[in-house]
Chains A and B, each alone.
Chain A
Amino acid sequence: MSLFRLRFAIQPYLLQIAASALNLLGLTALSLYMPRIMRDLIDQGLSRGDSRLVIQSALLLLLLGLLTAALSGLQRYLLEWIAGHVGYDLRNRLYDHIQNLSFSFHDHAQTGQLISRCIEDVRAVQNFIGGSLVELAQLVFLIIGAISIMLATNVTLTLIGILPILPMIWLTFDFGHRITAMFFNVDNRLGDLSARLQENVSGVQVVRAFAREDYEMERFDESNRAYYDARIRVISTWAVVMPTTDFLVTVCTILILWFGGSMVLRGELSVGELVAFNAYILMLAAPAQQLTNLVNAAGEASAGAQRALEVLDTPSAIVSPADAVTLPALRGEVEFRGVALNYQDEKQASLSAINLKVAPNQLIALIGATGSGKTSLVNLIPRFYDVTDGEVLVDGVDVRRANLTSLRRQIGLVLQTSLLFSDSLKANIAYGRPDASDEEIFAAAKAAQAHDFILGFPQGYETMVGERGVTLSGGQRQRVAIARALLMNPRILILDDSLSSVDTQTEQLIQEALDQLMEGRTTFVIAHRLSTVRRADLIVVMDQGRIVETGSHAELLARGGLYKEIHDIQLSA
């Protein structure tokens, strides 16, 4: 059972769990003592007319009641405390694991599903620990306690009385077995539903633009219906099991009344004992009726645990090796030696036979058609993916041997889509170095030509961006992203020179910012414009995952190959 594998999450709280178990033991003892008071009241107090015993019983009942109240309150809090902390730890662990999983994992993972792991599944586990687990424990205590007391009173009647409990236990466990699989299915369907919704909301503009609302509703309806069916399957099973256990519990009382009653008539049992017997059976009945609920919750929690563990069990393909080399300040030399790259889902190699050596501080322009492998190539430098063959060396060290943080902290990245986070502009610029001083942040923003427009906002650097803040234009976002990279003061810079989505003036500003950024670093530019390409120390022309030409602008023009072709096309545009 997957839940058992979660014991690591419970381990830190063994002390609290022990306290709660002790408390539970006390509670059970109290409730087991109650029927004895009634028995004595009937057999000794009432039958013999002892009014002192009546008062004593009343006071005793009151005292036990108060104690029970105090302990049950405490119990409730203890359990929620434990469950809350276990959930907290588990969620932290999931979060940390997810954010360290490699790009190739995230290429295939759906955000909605991952969120559902961290929220719904953890909640199921939490609910189980906070509620059901303890009821289960209490049930065990009660069964042992009540049955021993009953046995001490009358063995025959006990055996008869608990007879219906045996099929009930079988039924419950068989049900538990089936329900786990069903809940796994239910959770998956809910995950699908969530993913579909997430996608629709993210792509809302496209949906509207193509007037595809009806189509989307159909697709959502499919998932909605699948979830409905999965739920109904669970409940249909439950609808049989629940009343059956309830019936079996009633049969217990009936058997006791019938056989016990006959014993009373024969004088083998007192009325008080029979009443106590019935009380004990009812005491078993209440939690036994919950047993299916408990197994239900356990099934749900187990499915949740399984799915959470699935994420935790996914190894991150890209981690620093145990004997990782912590890279010192880099000079900025990058070398590709016989590199090949195959993404797992593509039949054709994305990169093959790449050999390229770049000296520190060079400006490299990568050009080539969409899908020719430019982005794949630069993604290998910060080791976002691992090569399928060959090696990528930075300052002579294979990136697979380097400590990841020491490598990535020295590489600056300006992506084509400049993603910013829901936070202040200042925090976004300081994203890579949260400890940066205001002066450093301002300097980076100035160099990135972002300072002026930032000060134009009423709240300046404290202006919130993202979903709940101001909407920045593409050019503004890009400049913030450049400032963010600049603040890292990277030795190697990778940028996607996709500036044409901004207007001319902004483009000029960004160009100035980029010039600042490239100064004195090894820079790889996925170039779209000739002005950038012309200035490059080395131009790398790519086609279908291979390097087809390298050289300076003049050399390549003279060669009259693919570069010249591209060059001519762009000039004519």
Chain B
Amino acid sequence: MTTITPPAYVTQSEELYDKGLDPQVARRLMKFILPYKWQLLFSAALMLVATASSVIGPYLVKIAIDDGLNAHNPLALRNTVLFYLAAAIIRWGFIYWRVKIMALVGQSVIYDLRKMLFAHLQRLSLGFYSRYSVGRVITRVINDVETLREFITWAVLAIARDLFALVGIILAMLTLNVKLSLLTFITLPLMLLATRIYRRSARLAYRKVRAAIAWVNSVLAENINGIRVVQAFSRQGYNYDHFSQVTNRYHLQTLLHAARVAASFLPVVDVLGALATAAVVYIGGTAVLGESITAGVLVGFVLYIDRYFDPIRDLSRRFDTLQSAMAGGERILALLDTEVEVKDSANALELPAIRGEVRFDNLSFHYSDDPALVLRDIRLTVPAGSTVALVGETGAGKTTLVKLLSRFMDPSSGRLLVDGHDLRLITQNSLRRQMGVVLQDPFLFNGSVRENIKFGRLEASDAEVQTAAEAVGAHEFILRLKNGYETSVEEGGVMLSVGQRQLISFARALLADPRILILDEATSSVDTQTEQVIQKALARLFQGRTSFVIAHRLSTITSADLIVVIEDGTILEQGTHAELLARHGKYYSLYQTGFQE
């Protein structure tokens, strides 16, 4: 078998999670269960009774043999059997309630956890999403939580039951015969040692399996998302070879490794069990011959040894689930621990209805993991209601500037003020509710066209939705769709052309009726006629609100109230079209070479 080296991000994530401490993770995971402690205690009590009624079985068999059969006492036999039956009936009811309660608890914990994860994801900064792939997020919230669910609903229950049973059996054995019991218990330290060794290797092995599955997941996600390119370039054959020989095979290898680890541990339990039984039979059998114990005791004892090893064997099997649940739990916790970079401060104020004056006050910005300044000493005052055109090369910092305005990140130094309010002192929600953003790549959600437009303002009426669509010239083509406004836009909005998607995203922004509008190169990829319509709509949209436009279109730029030329993260020039032309600077040269067709 060839060794496959997975890409760094797969192995790195393994190493990262290897440092985690088991008890700490377990303790923190337990906190999710804490709100249900009463239900848990109740079902533990139910379990105690149910287990006791189960553990008592062999003891009843012993009584039946010794007092009933060997003593030729039919009455004792009948009483024992009736007692046994009563215990079984009680057991039924107790198990029913225990399963039901535990399932509710387990399911609720998972529901809570997913809700918490999702809420956290809604708060994490955009920087997080550029580092963390969609596939990984899904693996965390779906797969890892599923593993945890299996653990809570089945394993927690089973582990508790096994522990109860173990204690019960040990007590019962001691009652039957102390000497034989101690003989059996000698195997216990050996068992613990073996378990310890197994746990270490299993932990590592299952981590690798999970990392491998995440790798498979991200390869799948990327290829399905890029399926059009895959097919256009006829890459299916090559991709298949790579998937089957590398990614998927690595997953298989990790799986088999984990299987080898498990397969080498399981027999240890069997061997110890056989040793104990043989020893008890030999010593106990000799004792029966010497008449220091009865045959019933020996039979009962051997039955107990069988049951004594059952929970232990079962516990060791639960370690499989425990391992993966822990590994999953660690990753979930790591995701929850990811710090929210942009937070509302504790005493953040609701931004009142604004006029829309924006001021960049000596603002500089660099990413937290890179000291190189992306924006430097930005000073810019935009009066309410004016249209600002941001001009400059790709990577000059235009996008960063408007992202700061939406407060997707915070400035590293200096301030950004809207109507005199420092953005860091107001709530993000109250800010964004008064802002509209049209992205370069319009993103539509699964749902109808109407729902997508309404995303801008959920309480909008159908008439308002239509007005917005009409204003951006989207109404006509929407009516031509199969179900008009109710036509469902599927993942990524593939059935619509880019231009159509853009029109819908315009309608969405228009419906939101923001005080500040940010347009990120949005007018670019529609055809001439459509753009004509949009230009008109935009002109009206710009009316009476502050607008920041990243555009290269001459008409947008020349008609702007303020043109800001950005280069290498600083403002090189600012002024109106006429002013800047007169300066014969950067804008002038850009105008000469580029703007006109």
A137 on the B face (CB < 8 A): no
CB-based contact B222/A570 at 8 Å: no
CB-based contact A54/B99 at 8 Å: no
A224 on the B face (CB < 8 A): yes
Question: Taking CB as reference atom, which chain A residue is nearest B511?
Answer: A210
User: Can you spell out 29 A-B residue pairs with CB atoms less than 8 angstroms apart?
Assistant: A42-B295, A51-B289, A55-B282, A65-B271, A65-B273, A69-B270, A88-B251, A106-B494, A107-B490, A112-B138, A119-B213, A190-B146, A210-B508, A225-B111, A258-B77, A258-B78, A264-B69, A345-B482, A370-B499, A413-B229, A413-B232, A419-B225, A431-B229, A434-B238, A466-B222, A500-B524, A505-B594, A569-B529, A569-B532
CB-based contact A85/B432 at 8 Å: no
A169 on the B face (CB < 8 A): no
Question: Taking CB as reference atom, which chain A residue is nearest B73?
Answer: A265
Residues of B within 8 A of A508 (CB): 593-594
Per-residue CB proximity of B121-132 to A under 8 Å, as 1/0? 111001001110
Report the Cα distance A510→B139, complex, angstroms.
Answer: 38
Secondary structure type dominating chain B contacts: helix
A158 on the B face (CB < 8 A): no
- Chain B stretch 440-486: residues in CB contact (< 8 A) with chain A: 440-441, 443-446, 455-456, 458, 477, 480-482
Smallest beta-carbon distance A91→chain B, Å: 6
- Chain A stretch 69-122: residues in CB contact (< 8 A) with chain B: 69-70, 72-74, 76-77, 80-81, 84-85, 87-88, 91-92, 95-96, 98-100, 103, 106-112, 114-116, 118-120
CB-based contact B224/A243 at 8 Å: no
Residues of B within 8 A of A206 (CB): 437, 439, 443, 445, 455, 505
Given A99-B230, A247-B89, verify A467-B494 contact (CB < 8 Å): no
Report the Cα distance A476→B394, complex, angstroms.
Answer: 9
In the complex, which of the residues A198, A246, A382, A416 contacts B498, with contact meaning CB atoms closer than 8 Å? A416
Residues of B within 8 A of A358 (CB): none
Per-residue CB proximity of A411-440 to B under 8 Å, as 1/0? 101011101011000000001101000000
Report the Cα distance A253→B252, complex, angstroms.
Answer: 44
CB-based contact A57/B281 at 8 Å: yes
In the complex, which of the residues A106, A208, A257 contacts B228, with contact meaning CB atoms closer than 8 Å? A106
B417 on the A face (CB < 8 A): no
Given A110-B491, A262-B77, A343-B495, verify A41-B395 contact (CB < 8 Å): no
B80 on the A face (CB < 8 A): yes
CB-based contact B498/A417 at 8 Å: yes
Residues of B within 8 A of A474 (CB): 394, 440, 521
In the complex, which of the residues A72, A115, A204, A250 contacts B267, with contact meaning CB atoms closer than 8 Å? A72
In the complex, which of the residues B114, B240, B433, B439 contacts A96, with contact meaning CB atoms closer than 8 Å? B240
CB-based contact A108/B270 at 8 Å: no
5 additional A-B residue pairs with CB within 8 Å, beyond A54-B281, A217-B122, A370-B477 = A62-B274, A76-B262, A106-B227, A217-B119, A262-B77
CB-based contact A573/B503 at 8 Å: no
Residues of B within 8 A of A85 (CB): 252
> How many of chain A's residues have a CB under 8 angstroms from any CB in B?
170
Residues of B within 8 A of A98 (CB): 224, 227
Sorted nearest first, the 4 A-B pairs with minimum C-beta distance are: A65-B274, A504-B594, A370-B499, A80-B259
Given A42-B299, A194-B138, A531-B597, verify A243-B274 contact (CB < 8 Å): no
Given A211-B433, A370-B527, verify A199-B229 contact (CB < 8 Å): no
Given A65-B274, A92-B240, A408-B233, verify A46-B85 contact (CB < 8 Å): no
Smallest beta-carbon distance B401→chain A, Å: 15
A475 on the B face (CB < 8 A): yes
Residues of B within 8 A of A220 (CB): 114-115, 118
B169 on the A face (CB < 8 A): no
Report the Cα distance A166→B264, complex, angstroms.
Answer: 37
Given A99-B239, A209-B437, A235-B99, verify A115-B221 contact (CB < 8 Å): yes
Given A201-B138, A371-B480, A501-B524, verify A419-B226 contact (CB < 8 Å): yes
A507 on the B face (CB < 8 A): yes
Report the Cα distance A473→B440, complex, angstroms.
Answer: 12
Residues of A within 8 A of B429 (CB): 211, 213
Smallest beta-carbon distance A208→chain B, Å: 7
Given A210-B455, A265-B77, verify A58-B266 contact (CB < 8 Å): no
In the complex, which of the residues A244, A416, A476 contacts B92, with contact meaning CB atoms closer than 8 Å? A244
Report the Cα distance A484→B539, complex, angstroms.
Answer: 39
Report the Cα distance A215→B433, complex, angstroms.
Answer: 13
Report the Cα distance A531→B528, complex, angstroms.
Answer: 13
In the complex, which of the residues A347, A422, A488 contacts B482, with contact meaning CB atoms closer than 8 Å? A347
In the complex, which of the residues B251, B267, B494 contacts A70, with contact meaning CB atoms closer than 8 Å? B267
Question: Taking CB as reference atom, which chain A residue is nearest B104?
Answer: A232
Question: Taking CB as reference atom, which chain A residue is nearest B398?
Answer: A503
> How many of chain B's residues have a CB under 8 angstroms from any CB in A?
181
Binds B, one of A13-21, A270-278, A391-399: A270-278
Smallest beta-carbon distance B474→chain A, Å: 9
CB-based contact A570/B295 at 8 Å: no
- Chain A stretch 7-26: residues in CB contact (< 8 A) with chain B: none
CB-based contact B95/A243 at 8 Å: yes
Interface centre among B146, B278, B279 (most CB of A within 10 A): B278
Residues of B within 8 A of A221 (CB): 115
Interface centre among A76, A209, A225 (most CB of B within 10 A): A209
- Chain A stretch 291-308: residues in CB contact (< 8 A) with chain B: none
CB-based contact B263/A197 at 8 Å: no
Report the Cα distance A96→B455, complex, angstroms.
Answer: 37
Residues of B within 8 A of A47 (CB): 295
CB-based contact B229/A257 at 8 Å: no
CB-based contact A203/B445 at 8 Å: yes
A558 on the B face (CB < 8 A): no
Report the Cα distance A132→B182, complex, angstroms.
Answer: 36
B249 on the A face (CB < 8 A): yes
Given A348-B480, A408-B233, verify A65-B111 contact (CB < 8 Å): no
- Chain A stretch 206-253: residues in CB contact (< 8 A) with chain B: 206-213, 215-217, 220-221, 224-225, 227-228, 231-232, 235-236, 238-240, 242-244, 246-247, 250-251, 253
Report the Cα distance A466→B226, complex, angstroms.
Answer: 12
B31 on the A face (CB < 8 A): no
Residues of B within 8 A of A346 (CB): 480-482, 495
Residues of A within 8 A of B492 (CB): 202
CB-based contact B229/A239 at 8 Å: no
Residues of B within 8 A of A209 (CB): 406, 432, 435-437, 439, 518
In the complex, which of the residues A115, A116, A505, A566 contacts B393, with contact meaning CB atoms closer than 8 Å? A505
Residues of A within 8 A of B118 (CB): 197, 200, 216-217, 220, 224
Smallest beta-carbon distance B206→chain A, Å: 13
CB-based contact B122/A88 at 8 Å: no
Residues of B within 8 A of A112 (CB): 138
Residues of A within 8 A of B249 (CB): 88
CB-based contact B255/A109 at 8 Å: no
- Chain B stretch 526-547: residues in CB contact (< 8 A) with chain A: 526-532, 535
CB-based contact B234/A99 at 8 Å: no
Interface centre among A49, A65, A238, A251 (most CB of B within 10 A): A65
B198 on the A face (CB < 8 A): no
- Chain B stretch 216-272: residues in CB contact (< 8 A) with chain A: 216-218, 220-236, 238-240, 243-244, 248-249, 251-252, 255-256, 258-260, 262-264, 266-271
CB-based contact B229/A247 at 8 Å: no
- Chain B stretch 47-91: residues in CB contact (< 8 A) with chain A: 57, 60-61, 64-65, 68-70, 72, 74, 77-78, 80-81, 84-85, 87-89, 91
CB-based contact B77/A261 at 8 Å: yes
CB-based contact B394/A502 at 8 Å: yes
In the complex, which of the residues B72, B480, B482, B528 contacts A570, with contact meaning CB atoms closer than 8 Å? B528
Smallest beta-carbon distance B297→chain A, Å: 11
Report the Cα distance A422→B220, complex, angstroms.
Answer: 12
In the complex, which of the residues B227, B266, B303, B487 contacts A72, with contact meaning CB atoms closer than 8 Å? B266
Report the Cα distance A411→B228, complex, angstroms.
Answer: 13
Residues of A within 8 A of B229 (CB): 413, 415, 419, 421, 431
A529 on the B face (CB < 8 A): yes
